[in-house]
Chains A and B, each alone.
Chain A
Amino acid sequence: MEVYNDMSQTPLLEVRNLTKVFHSRGRSIIAVDNLSFAMSSGKAATLALVGESGSGKTTTGLMILGLLKPTSGEILYKGKDIQKMTKDERIEYRRKIQAIFQDPYEVFNPFYKVDRMLQIPIRKFKLASSKEEERKIIVDALQRVKLVPEEVLGKYPHQLSGGQRQRIMVARALLTHPEIIIADEPVSMVDASLRASILNTMLDLKKEYNISYIFITHDLSLADYFSDNIIALYRGSCVEGGETKVVLKKPAHPYLKLLIDSVPVPDPERRWSKATSKDAVFVEREETVEGCKFYSRCPYAMDVCAKKRPETVMLGENRFVACHLYSK
């Protein structure tokens, strides 16, 4: 499957035929299955990776971050394979690609003040030449994420709210002047009233500092709000992708349609209407399907779907779907 945006210049980040297979007790689980996409350099844009649990979205993020080795496939940063980088190139890559994770409660060491969380990257990447400069960089980063430095510095993690902790993680990611931030469910553990302002701050940073995001989420309403482009994953495979507004308004793939129909809408006058598809009854053990992975749940399944893996079909410029309904 060769799915990526057609671009004349070298993409900022490109993922080619990325695959990750986990082995567990004699079974192999294909977490990410031949995934390809690209993010253009130039104007910052947000790519949302959406899917349910087990779709491979987090695994993809970890591989891009270099925290997990792909089974096969390549990750290219400005045309260079991150597996084949020299030590210096790798350090540079780690500076330019930062991460924000889901749980702002887990990432902090409860025995240290939050200051330490911000000092580590400064010291690791030698961003400051003196204590004063270090302090200045930290204060500056905290202000950029709309925290009042005096309110958070010198505190222990338990003294801060989930929203404040997650803002500190955004500030930490900013320290190294990244080009891409991989945000894996950054607000799913943050309360609704604080969530909106964190997302808005992240959107401001994108504009102000030209930072692109890979936004990993299960929440389509958030993906719709936050991203420019979207890729929907199902059990490790890309089922559909394109410009977020276009894709979510008129989804082509039956799985994405099903997902969209299931999202709760905060409007009691537009409640769920009767659905047609089924969800999984038993634990799904069948990992090696020959045909389409969605076959058993698809309301439009045809004979060919059981036998042959659907190829990716372009539906327009920068718009693709992997479904036999659209095969020519």
Chain B
Amino acid sequence: MSELLEVANLKAYYRVPNGNVKAVDGVSFTVSEDDVFGIVGESGCGKSTLASSILRLVKPPCYIEGGKVLFEGKDLLDMDEESLRRIRWKDLSYIPQGSMNSLNPVMKIGDQFADVIMTHENTNKKEAIARAVEILNEVDLPEEIVNMYPHQLSGGMKQRVIIAIATALKPRLIIADEFSTALDVVTQRRVAEFLEERRKSIGASMINITHDIALQAEIVKRLAVMYAGKMVEISDVNSIFKEPLHPYTKGLISATPILGEERKIEGIPGNPPNLINPPPGCRFHPRCSVAEDICKREEPPLREIQQGRFVACWKYGGI
């Protein structure tokens, strides 16, 4: 497996009156061909900012402080706008949070499809609509959708349309941010299956971002856990659930109830830190039950402690 995406020491900060909010603070990971890479974390941990910084879509007051985003070997952060614009959507597709509500309510679905195709491919409207119909057939959606308006579709169907549009140009990598929020569980499952089928058929990799660790368990191959702007653990999904390493990962898993299992769930004490002045050392130490002196002073680096298992915690070997 070669690396499709390599993110190295990426930092994205928000300028606010009393300092910088370090929303993404030195994040590194790789996504290979045919990978489904999940990022899980709670609100404010920086996962959505991470997605938009990879695509260089951050808007002020957010800015990219530093780092590299190598996509097929080219650094997206140094690229000129025009070359980047060509890569976005065609090779690197983004399904942002709440995107099903971004469909234009007064435009037919077919026209919205055609817009995307015409922007990236040299075709006329008629051909673009024909392509849209072709894609709808490919993904097994009813053809008559092209002549419908968004309000005529159910939430799940709108999200499928968004996925079909986002993948119309067969991108190499799909970045999906909370693709199933506001959908009911039955629909969530169907849309997740739809997305996975589509990903497989076009041979893309995917980064899936959600706060829902149970949903990640259903979908991804590898999982990264993010806390307070940093990756604290990255591993294949089976190992992470079988034997979580980082105390925060352990806490998240034991806070999640499992249907049909009698097990007392436990929360993690305390609250996530303020990212203007994060605590020194490990950012999780004020909430960690096994924190030692070193955790309060020095920041643990993300290290590979077993083949493919990364963790940023002093418990797994000191300096």
Contact = CB atoms under 8 A, between A and B. Distances in A.
Interface centre among B142, B218, B254, B259 (most CB of A within 10 A): B259
A264 interface: yes
A193 B251 contact: yes
18 contacts: A161-B271, A192-B211, A192-B255, A192-B256, A193-B42, A193-B251, A196-B256, A196-B265, A198-B267, A200-B264, A220-B259, A259-B185, A260-B259, A264-B217, A268-B237, A279-B187, A282-B153, A283-B151
Interface string B184-215: 11111110010000000000000000011111
Interface residues of A, number: 46
A125 interface: no
A309 B257 CA distance: 35
A52 interface: yes
A272 B189 contact: yes
B258 A267 contact: yes
A140 interface: no
A221 B258 contact: yes
B214 A52 contact: no
B255 A195 contact: yes
B314 interface: no
- Interface range on chain B (Cβ under 8 Å from partner): 35 or more
A199 B265 contact: yes
B152 A264 contact: no
Interface centre among A53, A193, A195, A272 (most CB of B within 10 A): A193
A29 interface: no
Contacts of B265: 196, 199-200, 225
Given A52-B186, A225-B257, A265 B214 contact: yes
Interface of A: 52-53, 161-164, 191-200, 218, 220-222, 224-225, 248-249, 258-269, 271-272, 275, 277, 279-284
Contacts of B186: 52, 258-259, 262, 277, 279
Given A266-B213, A281-B142, A283-B151, A196 B267 contact: yes
A193 B156 contact: no
Interface in B154-168: 154, 156-157
Interface of B: 42-43, 142, 151-154, 156-157, 184-190, 193, 211-215, 217-218, 237-238, 241, 251-260, 264-269, 271-272
A221 B211 CA distance: 16
Interface centre among A249, A258, A266 (most CB of B within 10 A): A266
Given A197-B267, A265-B218, A281-B142, 5 more contacts: A194-B267, A218-B184, A221-B258, A259-B186, A283-B153
A195 B214 CA distance: 15
Contacts of B152: 282-283
A302 to B, nearest CB: 21
Contacts of A195: 255, 267
Contact of B257 (A194, A222, A249, A279): A222
A191 B43 contact: yes
Contacts of B43: 162, 191
A230 B152 CA distance: 33
Contact of A281 (B154, B212, B217): B154
Contact of A272 (B218, B253, B264, B268): B218
Nearest to B213: A266
Nearest to A280: B154
A270 to B, nearest CB: 9
Contacts of A269: 238, 241
A220 B76 CA distance: 42
